[in-house]
Amino acid sequence: MNINDVDPKRKIVMLTLTENCNLNCIYCFEKAKTKKVMSIETAKNILTYEFNNSIGFDEIEIDLFGGEPTLCMNVIKELVEWTYNQNFHKPYIFFLETNGILVHDDIQEWLLKNIECVCAGLSLDGMKETHNKNRSNSYDKIDIDFFVKNYPDQSIRMTINNNTVSTLSKDIIHLHSLGFDKVASTFAHGVDWNIDNLIEILDDELQKLCNFYLANPELKECSIFDMDLTKLVQTDKKPEKWCGTGTHMVSYDINGESYPCHTFQENTTSNPIKLKDFDFGCVKDFGDKKCLNCIFESICPTCYGMNYANNGNMFDRDKSICNIVKITALAVSYLRTKQIETNIVKMESNDLYQTIQAIEIIQNQF
């Protein structure tokens, strides 16, 4: 199966295979790290259930999650090889999210042998110094080239933390220089963003990034620039559900209990919500009443699970990140303007018109 296909309706089934991890990243959301591992029987039962009951979905992505999932490679190997031998009638792909520490020798060999059905994604926070600050001095323990070479369609996962935001442009440029085409650079959630000069730092860093992408138009922009500005123009629309939690996604803890996604599990929140206890499909309004008058609401990302974990209400957005969203929108408006002026981007006429309208709205806010 080609993982670039976007048309089939895909269900995400996350398996928390272990709560154990061999790193201690400073922004990690998992409150409880234990040595517990999901049993192979539990994992098999989950997949049997999901393949037989995921009505309305064309394909299934099985996310091998943790903790660090490579700490239980025996479970992964048995589960993948068992799945090959089942007569499941939906296409599927396994996705292994890893810190890369153990991905050498035997594990690399096994991954290459199973590359058609198992995709591996690496977390790497940028330059060595940045990565090491956040992720337990682990940069030199990762075989970065293995991931660049064998998973060219896979985004590299980079977390921007409050202590590394001042180097974010260099970090993203570094990841591109390593050969990663797609950089999924995301701001850490649940950390304190009330830091000195954040606005000035982001203004400077994001402008450097804009200039980098303008000078290198062949590169795919990192995910910071994924905002669809035209949504700002459609003011009559109600906020949409932002992600697939609870509807297109299910997450299982090590005991086989199901949750809307991993952020509702016990290792993230003190009051976990099980899948059966909340129906995201029935929610009529995903908006936050405090954001009703904010022009950025339609493009402002939200995480229902982290909202719930941090303030007890899924729809109550984290207001400490408002400035980051606004400056990001400003940066996107800046980049799109320069691209439009120089014909770097090709857009349909309606898209172009609405983007320009949005650019004007955003620029007028500052």
Partner 1 sequence: MEKLKLAKSDLIKVNQIKETLMKEYGIAELLSAKNYSTITDCRGNCDGGCTHKCGGFWNPGNH
Of the ranges 81-89, 140-148, 169-177, 200-208, which one interacts with partner 1 (CB under 8 A)? 200-208
* Residue 181 touches partner 1, criterion: CB under 8 A: no
* Residue 170 touches partner 1, criterion: CB under 8 A: no
Among 101, 127, 261, 314, the residue binding partner 1 under the rule CB under 8 A is: 261
Size of the chain in residues: 366
Among 78, 143, 181, 204, the residue binding partner 1 under the rule CB under 8 A is: 204
- Residues between 4 and 23 that touch partner 1 (CB under 8 A): 6, 9-12, 14
Among 18, 42, 70, 123, the residue binding partner 1 under the rule CB under 8 A is: 123
Nearest to partner 1 of 64, 107 (CB atom): 64
* Residue 155 touches partner 1, criterion: CB under 8 A: yes
DSSP 115-134: TTTEEEEEB--SSHHHHHHH
- Whole-number Å distance between alpha carbons of 172 and 180: 10
Nearest to partner 1 of 40, 198 (CB atom): 198
Among 31, 32, 128, 242, the residue binding partner 1 under the rule CB under 8 A is: 242
Nearest to partner 1 of 149, 242 (CB atom): 242
Diameter of the chain measured on Cα atoms: 59
* Residue 231 touches partner 1, criterion: CB under 8 A: yes
C-alpha 7 chain-centroid distance: 19
Cα separation of the two ends of the chain = 46
Q: Return the amino acid letter for 11.
A: K
Among 223, 257, 283, 287, the residue binding partner 1 under the rule CB under 8 A is: 223
Among 43, 119, 124, 175, the residue binding partner 1 under the rule CB under 8 A is: 119
Q: Which residues make Cβ contacts (< 8 Å) with residue 61, sequence separation at least 6?
A: 10, 11, 12, 13, 92, 93, 94, 95
Among 241, 295, 315, 345, the residue binding partner 1 under the rule CB under 8 A is: 241
SS (H, E, C) 288-338: CHHHCCCCCHHHCCCCHHHHHHHHCCCCCCCHHHHHHHHHHHHHHHHHHHH
Among 18, 167, 269, 333, the residue binding partner 1 under the rule CB under 8 A is: 333
* Residue 338 touches partner 1, criterion: CB under 8 A: yes
Among 91, 190, 256, 287, the residue binding partner 1 under the rule CB under 8 A is: 190
* Residue 334 touches partner 1, criterion: CB under 8 A: yes
Q: Which of 139, 133, 138 is nearest to 167 (CA)?
A: 133
Among 47, 142, 172, 327, the residue binding partner 1 under the rule CB under 8 A is: 327
CB of 8 vs partner 1, minimal distance in Å: 9
10 Å Cβ neighbour count for 60? 19
Nearest to partner 1 of 42, 159 (CB atom): 159
- Residues between 46 and 105 that touch partner 1 (CB under 8 A): 61, 63, 65, 95, 97
Question: At 14, is the secondary structure helix, strand, or coil?
Answer: strand
* Residue 301 touches partner 1, criterion: CB under 8 A: yes
Residue count, binding to partner 1 (CB under 8 A): 87
C-beta separation of 40 from 79 below 8 A: yes
The sign of the dihedral angle between the CA atoms of 51, 55, 60, 65 is negative
Which tokens sit at 205? Answer: 């860093």
- Whole-number Å distance between alpha carbons of 159 and 170: 13
- Whole-number Å distance between alpha carbons of 34 and 108: 26
Nearest to partner 1 of 109, 312 (CB atom): 312
Nearest to partner 1 of 7, 105 (CB atom): 7
